[in-house]
Structure 1
C-alpha cells in the first residue's frame, strides 16, 4: 500500500500494488474512484464495489498489478452532494441529470494526479481494466501508453440497470455485454 497526497485538493490517495512494479512489461491496473456506498457499504445502486473486488481478484490471479484508488467520491462531487444526487435519482433523474441539477458536470473527476503516481513506480505502459474511455484518454494525455483495455463489466443487477444504461448512453462507457454478478 502506497499513499500519495494531492496538494491542490488536500486529498490522500492510495495505490495497492502486487508483484514487481519495476518490470518493463505493461502493468495490469485499475483506476478506481472512491465510492463509499458501493465499495464499503455494498450498495446495489452502482457497480463500483463489484468492480473493485473484481480488479483485486484479477491482479491476484496474475500476481502483478495495481489499483489506483482515487478520492473522487460521486464522480468528483463529494459524498454529501452524492447523497443529494441519490435523492434526485429516487425522484426519477438519472445520474447525469442529478449531478447537473446540483450545478455540477456529469463527471468532475480529474486524472492528472496519476502522473506523479505512475512516475513514482516508473510505469509507462498499462493494461487497463476499465469501461470508461475518458480514463484512457486522460492517461494518454499525461504520456502513459494504454496498450490494452480490458473490459471490466461486473455487478449488474436490477437496482443499477438505469445507472449502467446512463453510463453507456450519456457518458460513453464501453459495455460489451450484460454481465451479471453470477457471470463473473
Structure 2
C-alpha cells in the first residue's frame, strides 16, 4: 500500500549540478518528503540512491558533530558524476527519528561523556526509530525496484529490502572525521554496524 502522493516538480540548480526536485506528501500525516532526481530515472536499473534522513544541524547549519551534511553533498557529487541517481530526503527522521528537541537533549548528555546510543537510552528513547516506507514509495513512483545504495548503514539496506527494494550494491559514503564527530563515527561503526573503516 502506498502512503505518498506526488505533489509537485521543479528544476533545481545546485552547487553540485542540476537536479529535478519532486515533492511527495504523506497522506497519513501531511509530511512532505523530497526526491532529488538526476537523469532519466523512470524504470532505471540499479541507479545510485541516497536515502537521507533530515538533519537540520548538519545539513543546514554545517554542524561538525555529525557527518550528515558531508554525506549528503558527497552523494550529490557522485550522482552528478554518473549522471543518474536519486537522493530521497526523509522528513521526521531528525536524530534517527527521535525529533529535534530530543536530539538536543541527547547532545547535552553526549557533552557529559555519553555516546549517541547511551544518550538515547538514558532518555528512554529508541536508538533508531526510523522507518523507510516513504523511501520505498518514492522509488516505486519512479518504477525503480533495484538500486545501488549510497550508505554506510547496513540496517538501512535491510529495511529497504524488507520493503521489496533490491540492493545490488551498497556504496559507503566515507567522510573525513573531525575532533567533534570522531566518537560519534566510532559509535556508529562499533555499536550500530556502520561500514566506516579506519577510525
With the length of structure 2 as denominator, give the TM-score of the two structures.
0.86
Matches within 5 A, 1:1-184: 1-71=21-91, 72-178=93-199
- Measure how far apart 1:23 and its partner are: 4.7
| C-alpha distance in 1 between matches for 2:112 and 2:182 | 16
Contact 1:151 1:176 in 2 (8 A): no
With the length of structure 1 as denominator, give the TM-score of the two structures.
0.93
Alignment RMSD (CA, Å): 1.2
* Count, aligned residues: 178
Structure 1: gaps (5+ residues): 179-184
Residue-by-residue CA offset, 1:42-65 (whole Å, 9 max, x unaligned): 011000010000000000111110
| C-alpha distance in 1 between matches for 2:143 and 2:89 | 18
Bigger share in helix: 1
Moved over 4 A (4+): none
Bigger share in strand: 2
Structure 2: gaps (5+ residues): 1-20
